[in-house]
Structure 1
Amino acid sequence: MQRAAAPSPVYYAGNAPPPPEPPVRGRLWRVLGVLSIVMSVVLVAGSLTAYGFWRRLDGQIDRENVDGRLGVDRPEKLNGSLNILLIGSDSRAGRNARYGTEPGQRSDTTILLHISPGGENAIGISFPRDSMVQMPSCKRRNGTTVPAQFGMINTAFSNGGPACTWKTIESLTDIHIDHYVEVDFAGFKRVVDALGGVEICVPRRIDDPKAELRLRPGRQVVRGDQALGYVRTRYALGDGSDLDRIKRQQAFMASVTKKATDKGMLTDPGRTYDFLSAVAKSIKADEDLTLSVMQRLAGSLRGMSAGKVRFVTVPVEAYPQDRNRVQFNRALAEPLFRAVREDNKLPEPEPVPVGNQVKPVPPAQVQVGVYNAAGTPGLAQRTADQLTERGFQVVKVGTADRTYARTQILYGAGAERQAARVAIAVPGPKPRAWRAARPGRVYLVIGKSGARLRGLNASVPRVAGEIRADRDVCAAT
C-alpha cells in the first residue's frame, strides 16, 4: 500500500503525532399521572395525523419560557435521544384548593423520561424526594437568584420552579434534558378518567379516609378520586416509606402505559383525541415543546409497545446524618446515568469483509490514541471511555492545538487490521495509513464532524426492581 506523505507539524498535548487534514467533504403525594401523561401522548399520538387535530391540542397546553434560567454550563447532548423532565406539583391553588391550604408548591414527583434514539425503548427514572443533594444556584421568575445549597431534591422546585429542578437534575446526572412537563392534582384525575380508569391490584381491603381511598382486595379499575387516593396514600399500603410508595406508583404508571397502547385505543380516533385533549388541558410545558416537536416524536414512536417501556428508581442508600433521608449510591447510579447519556440506536450488523477487504482484529488487540480536534471540552475522554467499555486498549488521550473539520482514523505500520476494527466502532471515517505514526498504533482524531460510536445491544442496563409496562398488575401483590 502506498504511504501518505508526512504532514507539516502540529503539536498535541502529550506529544501525540500530528494527523494530516483530510479533504473537506462537506411530601403529600406523588402525581404519577405526569409520566403517564407524557408517555401516553408520545405513544398514542401517532394515530392522529390530521394537522387540525394537532393544532387544537397544541392550543390547549399552558407553556412557560425557561430560556435564560438554565445557565450556559449545561451537559452536552451526545445522541439523538429525547429526555423529558416530568414534574408533579402539589400546588393548592385554584382547582386544587380542596386538597388543603398549604402555601407554595413542591415537586414531590420528579421523573426523567428517556426515549432512546428512534423510539426503540423508553425508561422512566424516579428521583426520590427525600434524596439529599447539592443544588446549583437558580434564578426565580422575578429575576432574583437563590444561592447554591444542599438539601432535599424537591426544594429545587420551590426555589426556582421547573427551571431550577431541570438545572438540578442536569447537574446531578450530567444528562442533557430537552423539555419539561408539569401536572397537578386535578390534571391527574382528568387524564385517568379520560382513559376510562386504570387497572390496579391490592393485597387486602383498604379503608383510608384521609386519602379518600376505599378499595376491595384484588384486581380492579380505579378512576378520579380513587386513583388519586391510591397514589397519595402512604400508610394504608406498604411500609410507609417513600421508596415503597414509589414502587407502587411505578406499577400504576406501567398500567397506564399498557392501557394507552392498547389496540382499542390506538384504532379509535375519537377516543384517542378525547384522551389527548384531556392530557393537553392538564399539563404545563416549556415553550420549546412545540407542535412540530410533538409531531416528530409521535411519528418516531408509532411502533413502540408497552413491553419496551420500563420504570426504575435512582439507586440510593441511607443518608448518615438523618435516617429519614437518603442519598444517591454513586457506584450504582453513575452507570445508569452514563448509559442514558450515551444511549445510541441498536447496532447495525457488523460489516463482513468481502474479497480483498481487511479482516479486523478483536478490540482487545487494538491500541488506540484518542485526540480532541473539535474544540469541545471533554470530548476525547468521553469517547475514550466508550471505547474502553467496548474492549479497546486506549493508550493515550490528548487535545489538539488546532481544530479539524473531519474526524480521522490514522494508523501506523502493521496496524491496518486494528484500524479496521476502530472503523467498525466509529462508522464514517475511512482508515488511512500515516508514515509518522507509531508502528502498530491507531489514532482516532475527532474533528468537528464528531465521533458517534456504534450502539451496543443493552446500552441502558437492567436495574434491580425495575417494572415493565407489560407486566400483570397482580404479579407482585
Structure 2
Amino acid sequence: MQRAASPSPVYYADNAPPPPEPPVRGRLWRVLGGLSIVMSVVLVAGSLSAYGFWRRLDGQIDRENVDGRLGDDRPDKLNNSLNILLMGSDNREGENARYGAETGQRSDTTILLHISPGGESAIGISFPRDSMVQMPPCKKKDGSTVPAQFGMINAAFSNGGPACTWRTIESLTKVHIDHYVEVDFTGFKRVVDALGGVEICVPRRIDDPKAELHLKAGRQVVRGEQALGYVRTRYVLGDGSDLDRIKRQQAFMASVVKKATDKGMLTDPGRTYDFLSAVAKSIKADDDLTLSVMQKLAGSLRGMSAGKVRFVTVPVQAYPQDRNRVQFDRARAEPLFRAVREDNKLPEPAPAPLAAQNKVQPVPPAQVRVGVYNAAGVPGLAQRTADQLTERGFQVVKVGTSGKQYARTRILYGAGAERQAARMAIAVPGHKPRAWASAKPGYVYLVIGKDGADLRGVNAAVPKVAGEIRADRDACAGT
C-alpha cells in the first residue's frame, strides 16, 4: 500500500501577498552508517503495511536476547518516545575479513536515535569513540562478568557486546533505551547500494589507497566500497580527528535520510521493498524489536520528513591526561540528555485562554492563508517552515525572502485576519501578532527573523547543539 502524498503548498501568482517590510527595527566508519540504516527503515516503512511484506522482512533480521544483561538499576521510562541505540561494528570475520585482522570487536559507532512521541521529530546523538567514560559492570553471554572500569567508550562493546554498550549509555545519560541495532562493514555497503548510492560533496580530489577511496572534487554519488571508504577515512579529509570524521559521517547520514524519504523511492514499491530487504539482511537487533513493534513504529512515523531529522554530537572537551582523548562536557551535555529523557509531545493549548486574553477567537489552521518570508539570511529557512505549516493544515500561499534581514520574528496580519493571526501565534509561540496597514486583507505574514520560528511540538524539547546537521540540508553545504 502506498502512502498518501502530503498536500503541497498552494502558490498564487497574482493574488499572493508581496514580500512585507515589517514596521520593526533591529540589528540588520568509522560510524558505518548505523543511524542511516535505521532511520531509512522507519522513514520509508510507513508506506508499506501488508502483513506478508512485514513477515518476509522480519524473517531476515538476526536477533539477540539481551534480557538479564542490562542490570536492575535502569532509568525509568518517562514518556512515549522511542530510543534506539545504533552501533557500527568493526567485526573482521567472514565477508569483513578483507578489511584486515583485528582482535576482538568494537563499536566504531555509537549513536542514540531519539524519536519524539507521535513521530513529531527525530534526533541522532553521536558519542565520540575516543570519549573517556566510567563503564558499569557488564555480564557476558557466557554468564561471566566484566568489572566496572574507566576507559574509552567503544571498549564497552568489546567487554560485553551490544548489551554492555546499551548499559553504558543508559548509565551515562540516564535515558531509557528501548532497542538496539547493529550493522557491520558488509551490511553498510549492501544498504547503500540498495538505495542506489548516496550523494556526498568533497572539497578536493581524494586518493587514499589505505581506505580504498578515490573521489573527484565536488558533488557526486558514492556506492559500495567508495561509500565505506568515505565514512571510514580519517586522515585525508578534515583535521584527522574523530570529531571531524563524525561531522562528515553525520552529513552522510543526512543524505541517506533525504534519499530514503524522496518521493521517487516512496512511490516505487519494488525499490522500497528491495531497500528494506537489504536493510533487514544487514542488521542485528534485540529480540524485543518484534514484528508488531516495527509495524507500530512505521505507523507512528508516517509523514516524517527529512526536515524533522537532525544529527548532533555529545558536547565534549579535552581529556587532561591524554590529548588524543576527550571527555563529556557535562555542563553542556546534561541539558541535551535531560531534554531527551523528558521529551513529550506538547499539546496545543486550548484557544479559550488566548481568546479571553486577546478578545480574539482563533480559527482552524485550514482557514489561515499565510505568506512565509525569510528575513534571517538562513538558506531554505522559509521553505522548511512553510512545509511544517502545511503539514499542520495551514494554507501557505507564498514562500519568499524579505528584502531586509531582521533580528526578531514577527506575525503581521491584514484587515479582517485577526483570528487567523491568533491561530498562527499558537503554532509559532512567543510572537505577538501585529496589524499591518500595508498587508493584503485577510492574509497573515510570518516574517522569520534571526531569532527563528520554532513551531510548537517540532523539536521543541531538544535544545539546539552547536554543529548540528539537518537531514534536508544540501550535500555541499559547508564544504
Which residue pairs with 1:147 in the alignment? Answer: 147
Distance 1:339 1:139, change over 3 A: same
Which residue pairs with 2:437 in the alignment? Answer: none
Moved over 2 A (4+): 353-356, 454-457
Residues 31 and 188, structure 1, Cα contact 8 Å, conserved in 2: no
Whole-Å separation in 1 of the counterparts to 2:132 and 2:245: 18
Whole-Å separation in 2 of the counterparts to 1:217 and 1:456: 36
How far residue 346 of structure 1 moved from its aligned partner, in angstroms, is 3.0
SS at structure 1 position matched to 2:210: helix
In the TM superposition, what are the counterparts of 1:426-441 in structure 2 within 5 Å?
none
Which residue pairs with 2:421 in the alignment? Answer: none
CA radius of gyration, larger in:
1
Task: Point out the more displaced range, 293-302 or 455-464.
Answer: 455-464
Residues 347 and 456, structure 1, Cα contact 8 Å, conserved in 2: no
Q: Does 1:476 align with 2:478?
A: yes
Coordinate RMSD, CA, aligned: 1.8
Name which of 453, 462, 465 aligns with 2:464: 462
Whole-Å separation in 2 of the counterparts to 1:260 and 1:319: 38
Whole-Å separation in 1 of the counterparts to 2:49 and 2:174: 35
Residues 80 and 344, structure 2, Cα contact 8 Å, conserved in 1: yes
SS at structure 1 position matched to 2:248: helix
Aligned partner letter, 2:321: Q
Which residue pairs with 1:375 in the alignment? Answer: none
In the TM superposition, what are the counterparts of 1:116-195 in structure 2 within 5 Å?
116-195=116-195
Aligned partner letter, 1:57: L
How far residue 457 of structure 1 moved from its aligned partner, in angstroms, is 7.0
Aligned partner letter, 1:42: V
Q: Does 1:74 align with 2:85?
A: no
Alignment deviations for residues 108-140 of structure 1 (CA, whole Å, 9 cap, x no partner): 100000000000000000000000000000000
Residues 138 and 145, structure 2, Cα contact 8 Å, conserved in 1: yes
Which stretches in structure 2 are left out of the alignment for 5+ residues? 1-28, 357-455
Q: Percent same amino acid among aligned pairs?
A: 88
Residues 33 and 191, structure 1, Cα contact 8 Å, conserved in 2: no
In the TM superposition, what are the counterparts of 1:445-460 in structure 2 within 5 Å?
458-460=460-462
Which stretches in structure 1 are left out of the alignment for 5+ residues? 1-28, 357-453
Residues 120 and 459, structure 2, Cα contact 8 Å, conserved in 1: no
How far residue 347 of structure 1 moved from its aligned partner, in angstroms, is 2.6
Distance 1:355 1:158, change over 3 A: closer
Which residue pairs with 1:337 in the alignment? Answer: 337
Which residue pairs with 1:393 in the alignment? Answer: none
SS at structure 2 position matched to 1:87: strand
Aligned partner letter, 1:274: D
Aligned partner letter, 2:45: A
How far residue 31 of structure 1 moved from its aligned partner, in angstroms, is 3.4
TM-score, normalising length from structure 1?
0.72
Aligned length: 354
Which residue pairs with 2:279 in the alignment? Answer: 279
Alignment deviations for residues 256-296 of structure 1 (CA, whole Å, 9 cap, x no partner): 00000000011111110000000000000000000000000
In the TM superposition, what are the counterparts of 1:232-243 in structure 2 within 5 Å?
232-243=232-243
Which residue pairs with 2:229 in the alignment? Answer: 229
Q: Does 1:115 align with 2:144?
A: no
Which residue pairs with 1:366 in the alignment? Answer: none
Residues 87 and 110, structure 2, Cα contact 8 Å, conserved in 1: yes
Whole-Å separation in 2 of the counterparts to 1:201 and 1:273: 28
Alignment deviations for residues 313-348 of structure 1 (CA, whole Å, 9 cap, x no partner): 000000001100000000000000000000011332
Which residue pairs with 2:257 in the alignment? Answer: 257
SS at structure 2 position matched to 1:352: helix
Whole-Å separation in 1 of the counterparts to 2:160 and 2:168: 10
In the TM superposition, what are the counterparts of 1:291-310 in structure 2 within 5 Å?
291-310=291-310
Alignment deviations for residues 58-104 of structure 1 (CA, whole Å, 9 cap, x no partner): 00000000000001110001110000000010010111000011111
Which residue pairs with 1:99 in the alignment? Answer: 99
Whole-Å separation in 1 of the counterparts to 2:257 and 2:323: 34
Distance 1:73 1:263, change over 3 A: same
Distance 1:217 1:135, change over 3 A: same
Which residue pairs with 2:347 in the alignment? Answer: 347
Q: Does 1:55 align with 2:58?
A: no
Residues 344 and 456, structure 1, Cα contact 8 Å, conserved in 2: no
How far residue 353 of structure 1 moved from its aligned partner, in angstroms, is 4.8
SS at structure 2 position matched to 1:211: coil
Residues 138 and 164, structure 2, Cα contact 8 Å, conserved in 1: yes
Residues 88 and 110, structure 1, Cα contact 8 Å, conserved in 2: yes
Alignment deviations for residues 402-429 of structure 1 (CA, whole Å, 9 cap, x no partner): xxxxxxxxxxxxxxxxxxxxxxxxxxxx
How far residue 350 of structure 1 moved from its aligned partner, in angstroms, is 3.5
Task: Point out the more displaced range, 216-225 or 30-39.
Answer: 30-39
Whole-Å separation in 2 of the counterparts to 1:156 and 1:191: 26
Which residue pairs with 2:46 in the alignment? Answer: 46
Residues 31 and 183, structure 1, Cα contact 8 Å, conserved in 2: no
